[in-house]
Amino acid sequence: MIPQEVKSTGSVGKLLSSPTNENETESVYSRINCSFTNLSERFGHHSKDYSKQFAHIYAVRLTKMRELLNKRIHNKWGPDVRIRKLHELQEEESRKCVVLGTLFKHQEMKPSILKEISEEHQLIPQPPRTHFFDDSDQLILEDELQRIRLVGNLDVHLVVTGVVCAVLGNEDGDGKFLVDDYCWAGVSEPIQHPLQSNDERFVVLLSGLDLANSGDTLLPFQLFIDWIGGFLGDMGEQEHQACAVRVLIAGNSVKGCGEHKAPVLHNTYKTDVGDAITLDATKLLDDFLVQLTSSIDVDLMPGEFDPSNHTMPQQPLHYCMFPQASVYQTLHGVPNPYECEIGGRRMLGTSGQPIDDISRYSKLSDPLSILQLTLEWAHLTPTCPDTLSCYPYYQEDPFIISECPDIYFAGNQPQFQSKLYEGPEGQQVRLICIPAFSKTHSCVVVNLKNLDCYTVRFDASDSMGPGLDK
């Protein structure tokens, strides 16, 4: 199985199967073409202005999502329900009404630079925390003018700061709002996109290569490249691989954690060693990408620990980092978050930072459940800019999910998880938690025709080759 040489101007490879005897003819499988549109323009930094305050992004978020919430309110609680601002509650005389606003969690355990400065002279260092929720947490609702504490049927531990919602209830005599029910912005109405073809076409997703730290990833990743290029498997498998139209690498390709596992040499600065390891991992990634991009289009997203800007949205990894692979037009540096349309299917997702951040500040621990909640909250990164840093947007909030995606993913998760989410208005969204390749040696294959997905595992110790898990 030999891929035909693809020049830098090409985007389609050919998979060839050599005959086994004189009576057989050579089989040629061409990589299937598929329409593609990059929809991530709103995540790009066209101008950089860090002089603005972060309050503006909350104001824009509330204004935009109020429009989405108004329809949900009337569908859930009827057309006659009263919607009031917080400063109008005193006029309601404890009658039930609906108020809209942005949730804020008051958390004593939340990291604070002021606390660190005030406690820096303590003799006993405090152990680092990985989760910051506590039973003393309080939930507050804010609108443009006022705020009020929420009590009742909205669990403070199952939400996070930054979520815009509507609550039904009434104000009590102590200045608190008693919540009887609540409503999220929800998934937008589905937009019917005609599929480009009824034939099977596949998108392959993987994340967390972590080439700086994980030496045992090299052979499985090489097996993946050989598999996607048609070098592994029988003729049926090779024909199947010709239907793969795109590969998406969802972050943490160079590094998967903040610290390097390599030992620090004597008389050598730790930062110098870390920079050298990162540089070597980047060169190694370039070596792998040049093989991959020679036969298929590759979208490369940055991750939390990759050499990109730290704030959301992360900008694409610069092409100068990949002098070999960037020769091919099939290498596409894309931002994080990332949105595109492939073969009539809208795909949206992140490299996993929003999911991890939500789990740190709430009792939500299942990545797939958190992914579904962000879809129902209609926001990719609700904790931005409170606990997850982001660019100080002034006139827009690009993280609002205004159109329903067909595929919604999060990279760098502990294990593979997936479900087909069905919304109240017929929405169908394939939710996918992409496992870290360095830990699981597996990728996710998604069928664009019916949104079915499964994993393929690449185990060097398995003489049978790649393992298929459906």
Domain spans of the chain, in order of start = 2-47+190-469, 82-111+133-184
Q: Provide the sign of the torsion angle of the four alpha carbons 278, 280, 282, 288, taken in this order.
A: negative
Report the distance separating Cα 13 and Cα 18, nearest Å.
Answer: 16
Sign of torsion, CA 8 10 15 18? Answer: negative
Q: In one letter, which amino acid is 155?
A: D
Tell me the residue type at 445: V
- Strand ranges across the sheet with 244-250: 331-333, 297-301, 244-250, 202-206, 442-447, 453-457, 467-469
CB of 336 closer than 8 Å to CB of 301? yes
Shortest CA distance to 209 belongs to which of 171, 252, 172, 163? 252
Contacts of 10 (CB under 8 A, 6+ apart): 329, 330
Q: Measured between alpha carbons, how far is 397 from 55 in angstroms, rounded to an integer?
A: 12
Write the DSSP symbol of residue 326: G
Domain 82-111+133-184 matching CATH 2.40.50.100: the answer reads no
* Domain 2-47+190-469 class in CATH: alpha beta
Q: 2-47+190-469 and 82-111+133-184 share one CATH topology?
A: no
For every one of its 470 residues, what pLDDT tens digit does the chain have, with 9 covering 90 and above? 333 333 333 334 555 444 444 444 456 677 888 889 999 999 998 778 888 888 899 999 999 999 889 889 988 998 888 899 988 887 766 788 999 999 999 988 787 766 666 655 554 555 567 777 788 889 999 998 899 999 999 999 999 999 999 999 998 878 899 999 999 998 887 666 666 667 789 999 999 999 988 778 899 999 999 999 888 777 777 778 888 999 999 989 998 786 644 443 334 444 555 678 888 889 999 999 999 999 899 999 999 999 999 899 999 999 999 999 999 999 999 999 999 999 989 999 999 999 999 999 999 999 999 999 999 999 999 999 999 999 999 889 999 999 999 999 999 999 999 999 998 888 899 999 999 999 999 999 999 999 999 999 998 665 445 565 54
Tokens of 279: 């540089």
Interacting residues of 142 by C-beta distance below 8 A, sequence separation 6+: 58, 101, 102, 103, 104
CB 249 within 8 A of CB 225: no
Task: Annotate 109-163 with DSSP letters as a single string.
Answer: TS--HHHHHHTTT-SSPPPPPS----TT-EEEEE-SS-EEEEEESS-GGG--TT-
